[in-house]
Amino acid sequence: MSSRGSALAPPARTVVVYRNGDPFFPGRKFVVSQRRFLTLDAFLNEVTGSIRAPLAVRSLYTPRHGHRVAALGDLRHGGQYVAAGFEKFKKLDYSHRGRKELGGTRTSEGPQVSPCAERGQSGEAVFRNGDLLSPPFPLPLSEGTSLQWDALLATLTRKADLRSGAVSKLCRLDGTQVSGGEELVHGGYYVAVGKEEYKKLPYCELLVPRGS
């Protein structure tokens, strides 16, 4: 009976999943088989942890038309999907941008513009690591910042009020860490991070209103 059942089981399928509204996430590959995942919910739980989604993944959509996947059997081999929580599907060119990011072909695309700058955001802003619900706050810069790095981190701790506790480091939007006040630039955008790892999320796209 077991060999007969395995023969009738559908073959494993390989799919690529992107994060909803994140044009910089290159996509994560998954192998979907009946032996590993019995239901769509079980697969969504796996996706939530693997793509480091800020909230639990509740839906999968086709990237072009935003059609929702109803069942695990609807996933096609070689298909691409967008993982979302309870929020609406955000239509972006996911696979095209993902391949650019993976291939590293930035030189042919011209100068890289900050997504915050594209939305009209001016001035220094600090986002909270992994938080896509709270708006950013101004970065307190002064001439003595480079000499008072610990004091700046203490100020950020009070302003950010991270769930993980004190702010231990400040990162740029690409995840690189700022090691001192002399590296801060006017008009820069940063993410306050505690002891946890930096979470690369579409902070500007989701938290900064266009034309602000």
Identify the pLDDT of residue 41.
93
- Please tell me the distance from the alpha carbon of residue 194 to that of residue 137, in angstroms, as a whole number: 16
Asked, colleague to colleague, whether 13-84 and 125-206 share their fold, the answer is yes
Identify the pLDDT of residue 157.
92
Phi, then psi, of 125 in degrees rounded to 5: -140, 145
What digits encode the pLDDT tens for the residues 136-168?
888 876 554 545 788 889 989 999 999 888 999
3-class SS of residue 84: strand
Identify the pLDDT of residue 205.
78
CATH architecture of 13-84: Roll (3.10)
Domain boundaries, the chain: 13-84, 125-206
The bridge status of strand 189-193 relative to strand 169-172 is antiparallel
Identify the pLDDT of residue 57.
93
- Please tell me the distance from the alpha carbon of residue 71 to that of residue 83, in angstroms, as a whole number: 14
Indicate the fold that domain 125-206 takes in CATH.
Ubiquitin-like (UB roll) (3.10.20)
- What is the reported pTM? 0.45
Q: Which residues of the chain have pLDDT under 70?
A: 1-10, 95-123, 141-147, 186, 208-212
Residue 137 and residue 159 in contact, taking contact as beta carbons nearer than 8 Å: yes
The residues, ordered by sequence, that sit 6+ positions from 35 with a Cβ below 8 Å of its Cβ are 9
C-alpha dihedral (156, 161, 163, 168), degrees to nearest 10: 10
